[in-house]
Homo-oligomer: A and B are copies of this chain.
Amino acid sequence: MKTRIHVTLKNGVLDPQGKAIHHALESLGFEGVNDVRQGKLIELDLDDSVSDADIEAMCRKLLANMVIENFEIEREAA
Q: State the A residues within 8 Å of B (CB).
A: 6-8, 18, 21, 24-25, 28, 30-47, 49-50, 54, 57-58, 61-63
Number of copies: 2
Name A43's closest neighbour in chain B (CB-CB). B37
Name 20 extra pairs, CB < 8 A, besides A24-B62, A30-B50, A35-B44.
A25-B58, A28-B58, A28-B61, A28-B62, A30-B54, A32-B46, A32-B47, A32-B50, A33-B45, A33-B50, A34-B46, A35-B45, A37-B42, A37-B43, A38-B40, A38-B41, A38-B43, A40-B40, A40-B41, A41-B41
Q: Which residues of B contact A40 (CB under 8 A)?
A: 38-41
